[in-house]
Chain A
Amino acid sequence: MNYVLRRLLMFPLVMLGVSVFVFVAIRLVPGDAITAMLGTESGLLTPAQRESLAAYFGLDQNWAVQYWRWLGGLVQGDLGLSVTYGQPVSQIIAERFPLTLELALLSMVIALLIGLPAGVFAATRAERPSDLIVRVFAMIGQSTPNFVVALLAIYVLSVGFGTLPTMGRFVPLTEDPLGNLAQLILPALALGTAFAAAVTRIARAAMLDILSEDYVRTARSKGFSQGYVIWRHALPNALIPVVTLSGVEFGYLLGGAVIVEQIFALPGVGRVVLDAILQRDYALVQGVVLFIAFNFLLVNLLVDLAYAALDPRIRYGAS
């Protein structure tokens, strides 16, 4: 069967699994839902009030019924109401997610812009000093957690330059693109360092492999220059593992956003999810985690499609 079609059909199936997992997981979190919902006021409830509340929120039903209802709402874009925010979860996501997405995408772009050329450069100079320097940097980059990069960056800025990254009030992209970029560039760098390093390493390794492939030799036998051989014959093949990596790494970026948003005080969805988990805001955790997983899966679907575009073997289903 057609590869693309199969990926498209798998998508809702895995999503369904993800939704079940999230639903069950959050219900395993200790603590009564009503207490978590009402906080200080729950102590004043009579048993009758408690029951009626449970009925109102559908918590009196068994999990299957609750899940079915939640799923029903989900299909209509209704993710429920956040207790801590007193707002619909969908609205919170709509307000916060663009920032997280922008942060992740910006990190990705930075990582690819740094990593790809660095990796290709290193591969063409394999085992020479310039290759070694690139590899050392990539190795260190890959070994440094994003929060360490973030903290060190803040430290260097504050001690070395007597300033701090502009963290204050978040400026949305639509309001002031330059101001927005100025705010996000450092978080994106912190988030993207490890990714850039990984791209460098994988691009280098792929390029090295490919440069010894028969078809590169064939291209050389046609009398083409090194530049043309790399650009036209090797690079399209080297992009395939880089694209795969980008799909996987996008998840790390979304996850890393939880920490980086916290450090740089950015009002993205990463911070929401951390707070929501800590504060047992069921609907919010369910909604946000599902939404993040949805986006992660979506990006991986796009990666799969990009794959098909890059590699005709996948597009037409090689034997």
Chain B
Amino acid sequence: MSFLRALLRHSSGRIGAIIIAVFAVAAILGLAGLTPHDPLAQDRLARLQAPGARYWMGTDLFGRDILSRLMVGIGQSFAVALLSVGLATSVGTVLGLTAAWFGRLWDGAVMRAMDVLLSFPAILLALLIVAIMGPGLVTSVVAIAIVYTPIFTRVVRGPALSLKTRSFVDAARTFGSSRRYILTRHLLANLVAPLTVQITLALAWALLTEAALSFLGLGAQPPNPSLGLMLSDSRNLMESAPWMLVFPALVIMLAVLGFNLLGDALRDLFDPRTRRALA
């Protein structure tokens, strides 16, 4: 609770938290079907309508409500981001922890494999995986998870290696504590802070990657709304229907911004140096 209060006292933390909270509400409403209009319903009489009283953010080529579509799109983006980052975090944490703890061959094997994955530009790797699995939301989750697993592996392994040499781990070993006890109570518990920061930032990247994939037509398939797809639909219409470009663009920017701000704030709060300065 005091942590939350500290977060809200932090200026960028406050802004980030508000943005994410608003978007989360929109996302939940969107996924629960509580949108102002049916996001798939085509209003033949209201095609390409500018924002107005009935359609607050206007309609698209088919007369579908952009606000409703954005809400569902945010919901899907958030779901993809959360699932993929969750997956990447779990796998990356296990790999990073064990690599750091066992060292030698296992460490070498894991880290070289991660090097290989990291040798591909993220989008390219995601594209390859989408090609293998076929486009769709599940694929997006898996692709983004695979892209970010090496990052989490590294994020965990580095501090885990240094934690491993800390005296309290030495102390635990002198007591004869079990490996599992040491890995969870001593290493993992102390990785919560860097992991939280990393997860928040990774959520921002995952949103970006998801949007990029669907922008290329490889994410959610039409007519399902997705932020990237809505943007790419706007390309040939931006002169006559700029709201089709502006609103999805703003939503992507703000969502990513929210997570970035939150991540920055968390990093500040977890960093003993800045914590002292903030106190």
Contact = CB atoms under 8 A, between A and B. Distances in A.
Most-contacted residue by chain A among B113, B121, B239, B246 (CB, 10 A): B121
B204 A251 contact: no
Interface stretch (B37-45, B47-55, B94-102, B126-134): B126-134
A262 B216 contact: yes
Interface residues of A, number: 48
Nearest to B232: A147
Interface in B109-131: 112-113, 115-124, 127-131
B62 interface: no
A285 B234 CA distance: 29
A148 B132 contact: no
B131 A255 contact: no
Interface string A91-109: 0000000000000000000
A17 B119 CA distance: 10
Interface in A202-257: 251-256
A277 interface: yes
A61 B167 CA distance: 56
Contacts of A139: 12, 257, 260-261, 264
B215 interface: yes
Contacts of A262: 216
Chain B contact-residue range equals 35 or more
B253 to A, nearest CB: 5
B235 A159 contact: no
A282 to B, nearest CB: 11
B247 to A, nearest CB: 12
Interface string A3-14: 000000010011
Nearest to A273: B124
Interface in A132-167: 139-140, 142-145, 147-148, 151-152, 154-155, 158-159
Contact of A151 (B128, B130, B234): B234
B145 to A, nearest CB: 15
B231 interface: yes
Contacts of A143: 204, 253-254, 256-257, 260
Given A25-B132, A29-B132, A144-B253, A258 B115 contact: no
Contacts of A252: 121-123
A106 to B, nearest CB: 17
Nearest to A132: B11
Most-contacted residue by chain A among B118, B119, B131, B132 (CB, 10 A): B119
Nearest to B208: A145
B252 A148 contact: yes
B211 A145 contact: yes
A296 interface: yes
Interface in A266-295: 273-274, 277-278, 280, 285, 289, 292-293
Interface string A112-145: 0000000000000000000000000001101111
B123 A258 contact: yes
B124 A258 contact: yes
A140 B119 contact: no
26 contacts: A14-B115, A17-B112, A25-B129, A26-B128, A29-B131, A139-B264, A142-B260, A143-B254, A144-B252, A147-B211, A147-B228, A148-B231, A148-B249, A151-B249, A154-B238, A155-B238, A155-B242, A159-B238, A251-B118, A253-B121, A255-B123, A259-B215, A277-B131, A285-B128, A289-B120, A292-B121
Interface of B: 12, 112-113, 115-124, 127-132, 134, 204, 208, 211-212, 215-216, 228, 231, 234-235, 238-239, 242, 245-246, 249, 252-254, 256-257, 260-261, 264
Q: Considering the complex of A and B, which 4 residue pairs feature the smallest CB-CB distances, nearest first?
A: A255-B121, A255-B123, A143-B257, A17-B116
Interface of A: 10, 13-15, 17-18, 21-22, 25-26, 28-30, 139-140, 142-145, 147-148, 151-152, 154-155, 158-159, 251-256, 258-259, 262-263, 273-274, 277-278, 280, 285, 289, 292-293, 296-297
